[in-house]
Structure 1
């Protein structure tokens, strides 16, 4: 299925059925959504947007972002979503690197040589041109999603219409989505997870989506009870906050068929707490932008193994590879590699990095994993996060999961700190649940019964909140900077995380 024609097809089949909702416009029917997409495409066309162009969209979570996405596709153009929290120079870099000549933004940011449009500009009905829908090829660029840039300048991940077709088709099949499904979007729309899982997949299935703004655990369940979605997708940090709400919070979750988790591995203990407390089925998956979002998932109907991220999604092959390029036997650790129609075309204008990431026909994820005898994948850690202490390989996630098992712990992150003799040593940053108390000696004693002595953190820093990046993952580069020998900085919850 070519998603560019989705708005018109939905409008033709069921014009009065709900399509998208947000706090700004309320609910748009299929017919109203298609009309807005058509109007926006005409506006884009007057500013030179055509097949092969790239439109930059820098908006908070709102329907206008989805309208702009489909409007660009209607013209055969691609979209690069821009994190609205980025500083001006960071926005300028992404817009220039992507080759965008049109920027849709909510705050009037002006860049030299770039046409700036406000969301309200896209609703103009007097654009002066009539645009016939383009017929883009499935191999044409659809999305240009920029990585977080923790190892240098952010890279543009090139995702084609074929990638999106394969990914949304796999999500519809794996999650049994149909016209009765209604997703509640709580993740940022500048990230591929929010776009694919919470918007494109339900719309493709004939369902609808409600778009929310910034996640707030205090108001989330009120929104859920009003919207009555059948599912939502979150990250471990979101579920941690929900699990830590006061016990008197007893929301009505009866509309939910399931909830999903991605972006980072989720401790099995936290999955159990969420399922037991809120009476929901939590399906954990795994993927990355370079794979168009998801590559594995615990089955919705079938055996779910907490602590794993499930089995390969339809159409994809997931394996574990040794450093020499050979696939390792089941039960052995190695780098997770992926094949299939969801694998990116490459990194924009970065042939060497593309060749490295797609070496020998596999997408190299940089994650260390283990496949069990049933094909369930367990993510051990990131290759670059592994700590080598006196020749012993230590995976921080193993320590984090052990820390998380303590009833007083809300969240924990472990990084390596340089050591003059041992090479590196693990250090932990821990946030406690509200009202809980715990000291370093008590925590180390607790861990001594659960992990080997050489894995024990040599120091524990208690903080109000573990810093996270914009997609909810622990900001480990910042933590490593904080413990570097030359660093005088400290991690504090009062500082704004990047």
Structure 2
């Protein structure tokens, strides 16, 4: 293979050819070998090259968590093309409109997805029967696209947008800072990883490509589901597993025991805030430390996180932090005028991601944060989600954390609702643990001992499940629509001052706002 081939493409090709008979992906109880992936990936690569326009090949994939989709992903990268992530679960009308706007030269997917959402004049390639047919050579004469993946963001606060992840950025994330010179593994790994993060999210892309780059076999789950996840953990006894906060709370409040998680030495958790109390409770129940991290699609992966060594030394005094800068990233907190703030002061977080190289510029986030003298980072909430209630600032994460401290609450989401007198007030959606019972009056009384009066929500809706994005975060747009729907009963509005009462009635999701079931995914962080 030519030395001009990008190191990421070369690494993927070397791993697929390393030991063709070795197991690569377990899905639905069946193992696919590396050799079984190599042939289909090569065919997708050849198809990608034939659809290139002016040396570029942005290929849409209607991504689902199956071996065929993983193989298609590897095939487009093997051709040096650009994977354009398409989420077929966003609804047929929105997905079709998205594809019309993108005007792609080729869209890959399962036959049902292609028929449902792809415009008639767009060329398509079916992934059905992908694992049969002739096998051309993989990674030959790749194109020279700079962008590896046009990734969808999670769409927590609004419509998802696309972020370009370059080949260098992706290689830095999944191989390491020395990706240009690090050799491929000499043998496939023996430990089996578990991947339940969706491929439409950066966590899924990261975890899958990291496993392939390491020649590590992995179990691919369609989504996080407690029973299938626990079965995979018991069977393969991985050393590290990844759980987003919603999934971690499901495991924490389940009937699983230490024996069920025997072999697991560490849990990594990202994509959304995790309460320190939940991390402590998880350690108390299972004896497994939880290492939180901070990442974003725009950064191409993680920029801060805990290591096991830091956890042993600092957790007691730094609990609640998301760890320290990693992977060559630089962090700073700035004031409104753009000046850097000293340690301990709150401001907006700026990041220079290591994935963008040593000369990366500062990226300003919308996260309120503080850094201490030891470099530990605390995320305090999002500046663009702060609720201004009659002149008082309410941070939704503070209210969410207080609600999730209630013994009956599995998860919560807090958003602003317009108010004619106070400007806006916080409202909350709450999902209960299995078999637990409470109501809005009880939750309001619980919050009054933990929050200022102006922070207490004016309405609390107890629902069967909080609607979530594919990455497992609450879908705040859906939560806002729930409270904006006049057909939704319950709730009370402030009549005087900041002290208000919350709704006394439990309410169900508004019509047309059925919660997303089981759409929980985990990010993938390095464990050191």
TM-score by length of 2: 0.81
Aligned-pair distance for 1:342? Answer: 2.5
Aligned-pair distance for 1:170? Answer: 4.7
Aligned residues of 1:98 and 1:144 also touching (Cα < 8 A)? no
* Aligned match of 2:406: 406
Q: Distance in 1 between matches of 2:235 and 2:487?
A: 47
Aligned-pair distance for 1:151? Answer: 6.2
Aligned-pair distance for 1:158? Answer: 0.5
Q: Distance in 1 between matches of 2:320 and 2:138?
A: 50
Q: Distance in 1 between matches of 2:430 and 2:174?
A: 37
Aligned residues of 1:56 and 1:103 also touching (Cα < 8 A)? yes
* Aligned match of 2:329: 316
Aligned-pair distance for 1:492? Answer: 2.9
Aligned-pair distance for 1:152? Answer: 5.8
- Secondary structure (helix, strand or coil) at the match of 2:10 reads helix
Return closer, same or farther for 1:228/1:119 CA change in 2, 3 Å cut-off. farther
Aligned residues of 2:156 and 2:476 also touching (Cα < 8 A)? no
Aligned residues of 2:346 and 2:370 also touching (Cα < 8 A)? yes
* Aligned match of 1:104: 108
Aligned residues of 1:167 and 1:293 also touching (Cα < 8 A)? yes
Aligned-pair distance for 1:57? Answer: 1.1
For 2:194, which of 173, 184, 190 is the aligned residue? 184
Aligned-pair distance for 1:162? Answer: 0.7
Return closer, same or farther for 1:136/1:181 CA change in 2, 3 Å cut-off. farther
CA RMSD of aligned residues (A): 3.0
For 2:13, which of 8, 31, 51 is the aligned residue? 8
Q: Distance in 1 between matches of 2:200 and 2:444?
A: 39
* Aligned match of 2:521: none
Q: Distance in 2 between matches of 1:131 and 1:34?
A: 7
Return closer, same or farther for 1:421/1:86 CA change in 2, 3 Å cut-off. closer
Aligned residues of 1:81 and 1:145 also touching (Cα < 8 A)? yes
Asked if 1:19 is matched to 2:27, the reply is: no
For 2:304, which of 288, 296, 302 is the aligned residue? 296
- Secondary structure (helix, strand or coil) at the match of 2:366 reads strand
Return closer, same or farther for 1:433/1:121 CA change in 2, 3 Å cut-off. closer
Aligned residues of 1:40 and 1:124 also touching (Cα < 8 A)? no
C-alpha offsets along residues 236-266 of structure 1, whole Å, 9 cap, x if unaligned? 111122222236x665222323222111011
- Secondary structure (helix, strand or coil) at the match of 1:219 reads helix
For 1:269, which of 273, 277, 285 is the aligned residue? 277
For 1:328, which of 330, 341, 345 is the aligned residue? 341
Asked if 1:164 is matched to 2:170, the reply is: yes
* Aligned match of 1:354: none
Q: Distance in 2 between matches of 1:89 and 1:427?
A: 30
Aligned-pair distance for 1:164? Answer: 0.5
Q: Distance in 1 between matches of 2:346 and 2:65?
A: 38
Q: Distance in 2 between matches of 1:434 and 1:419?
A: 34
* Aligned match of 2:498: none
Asked if 1:492 is matched to 2:508, the reply is: yes
Asked if 1:338 is matched to 2:351, the reply is: yes
Aligned residues of 1:403 and 1:447 also touching (Cα < 8 A)? yes
Aligned residues of 2:282 and 2:288 also touching (Cα < 8 A)? yes
- Secondary structure (helix, strand or coil) at the match of 1:273 reads helix
Return closer, same or farther for 1:46/1:125 CA change in 2, 3 Å cut-off. farther
Could you tell me which runs of 5 or more consecutive residues in structure 2 were left unpaired when the two chains were aligned. 1-5, 180-184, 490-506, 517-528
Q: Distance in 1 between matches of 2:16 and 2:420?
A: 66
Aligned-pair distance for 1:42? Answer: 2.6
- Secondary structure (helix, strand or coil) at the match of 1:104 reads strand
Q: Distance in 2 between matches of 1:191 and 1:51?
A: 27
Return closer, same or farther for 1:186/1:307 CA change in 2, 3 Å cut-off. same
Q: Distance in 1 between matches of 2:342 and 2:390?
A: 27
Aligned-pair distance for 1:329? Answer: 2.1
Aligned residues of 2:322 and 2:379 also touching (Cα < 8 A)? yes
Aligned residues of 1:7 and 1:34 also touching (Cα < 8 A)? no
Single out whichever of 68-77 and 141-150 deviates more from structure 2: 141-150
* Aligned match of 1:353: none
* Aligned match of 2:423: 423
Single out whichever of 410-419 and 46-55 deviates more from structure 2: 46-55
* Aligned match of 2:251: 242
* Aligned match of 1:205: 214
State the aligned residue count.
474
For 2:205, which of 192, 195, 198 is the aligned residue? 195
C-alpha offsets along residues 304-327 of structure 1, whole Å, 9 cap, x if unaligned? 444221111121112222232222
* Aligned match of 1:470: 470
Aligned residues of 1:171 and 1:201 also touching (Cα < 8 A)? no
Could you tell me which runs of 5 or more consecutive residues in structure 1 were left unpaired when the two chains were aligned. 345-359
* Aligned match of 1:282: 290
Q: Distance in 2 between matches of 1:432 and 1:281?
A: 25
Q: Distance in 2 between matches of 1:272 and 1:53?
A: 47
* Aligned match of 2:150: 144
Which of structures 1 and 2 has the larger relative contact order (alpha carbons within 8 angstroms, sep 6+)?
2
Aligned-pair distance for 1:11? Answer: 4.3
Q: Distance in 2 between matches of 1:59 and 1:24?
A: 21
